[in-house]
Amino acid sequence: SMAVGVLAAASFFDDAMDKMLDTTFGLANRQDAVLMFAENRPERVIDDLRSLPGALQIEGQLVEPVVLRNGHLEKHTTLEARRPDADLSRIVGGSGRVIAAPPGGVVLAARLARQLGVGAGDAVEVEFLSGQRETALLPVTATIDQYIGIAAYMDFEALNALRRQAPQVSVANLTLDPAARSEFHRALNGMPALAGTAMVSDMRRSFDETLRENISITATVYITIAVLITVGVTYNGARIQLSERARELASLRILGFSRGEVSFILVGEVMVLALLAQPLGWLTGLGIAWAFTQGIESDLYEVPFVIVPSTFARASLIVLLTALASALVVRRRIDRLDLVAVMKTRE
């Protein structure tokens, strides 16, 4: 059961990463490209970008660097704002529900809220690191589970009003015609107001590689441990059973049972025990996976507690096949039993 639990817990990382990437890049960030301006621009710049070759849909977003404080606790992060009807870059919680930041306060990533020691209904001090570096005390209206990054969110009009400015944007999100991407990139070369461009597909690939590099090492170690546990327990258990029951098995051979029938008794008993251990192994895997999610947390990402049924099925299949292979190795010792010598052995 421990082998199944360790194997299921190690394999759950794939399920967790799929959930992280699908939520972040499938639900929250659905744009093809992100244009970052060197400085905040009036919102009307979005209309100017519609003439870019291949641009299909364009939405603006305001991102401000800030320091959030609660007493002696503080965190450098970004305060993001977009229109309530934004479709390309959205605030999506861990449940997949799209959230609109209310005008009266800020929405915090749950990890950020924990680091600051605040929750919904509390107030947090916001210090802007650009412009006149204003400071404001804002209520926390909600917290959301966010798997990649930590940020704070605010209503677009409310943030611009707080900064006492006409609506401005610092980022433009675009969807592109795949056939016109080359022309799109060439057109960007003549735009000095841009500080940078990011393709979301490249961002997803980078996150995927980073996460898998960090997590796959741990997963490989635990998978190896699970296989070694299975081989060790099954092989040694089968050998002990053979040693204890050699006389009985030899008696069956003398009574006319075939090698296959005698072997089936030993191998069958091992496999029945392995099957009975599966449910306990699944529960153990859930516990280990939950412990992993509590212990692996950083500003870059948070691993969600997600295990799909196929993960348990795969873990059980690997353990059962390994147990069968180990039992069959011991089964060869039955074929080589010296029936006369065994029967002479005292009980």
Average pLDDT, integer, range 111-133: 89
Q: Considering the domain boundaries, does residue 24 fall inside one?
A: no
The residue written with tokens 């394999």 in the block is 11
Neighbours of 206 (CB within 10 A): 11
Structure token pair of residue 161: 């009003």
Say yes or no to pLDDT of 236 above 70.
yes
- The per-residue pLDDT for 127 is 92
Q: What is the pLDDT of residues 31-66, one digit of tens each?
A: 888 999 988 899 998 888 888 888 889 999 999 999
Q: Considering the domain boundaries, does residue 196 fall inside one?
A: yes
DSSP structural state of residue 89: B
Q: CA torsion sign, 195 to 201 to 202 to 204?
A: positive
- 219/305 same-domain check: yes
* Rounded Cα gap, residues 223 and 229, in angstroms: 10
Q: What is the pLDDT of residues 159-204, one digit of tens each?
A: 999 988 899 999 999 998 888 888 888 888 877 778 888 888 888 8
- 194/221 same-domain check: no
- 44/125 same-domain check: yes
| Percent of the chain residues past pLDDT 90, beyond the cut | 18
- Among 155, 178, 207, the domain-final residue is 207
The number of folded domains in the chain is 2
- Using N-to-C axis directions, what is the helix angle for 278-295 and 259-276, rounded to 10°? 40
- Among 183, 207, 231, the domain-final residue is 207
Among 193-207, 216-230, 245-259, where is mean pLDDT lowest? Answer: 245-259
- 183/40 same-domain check: yes
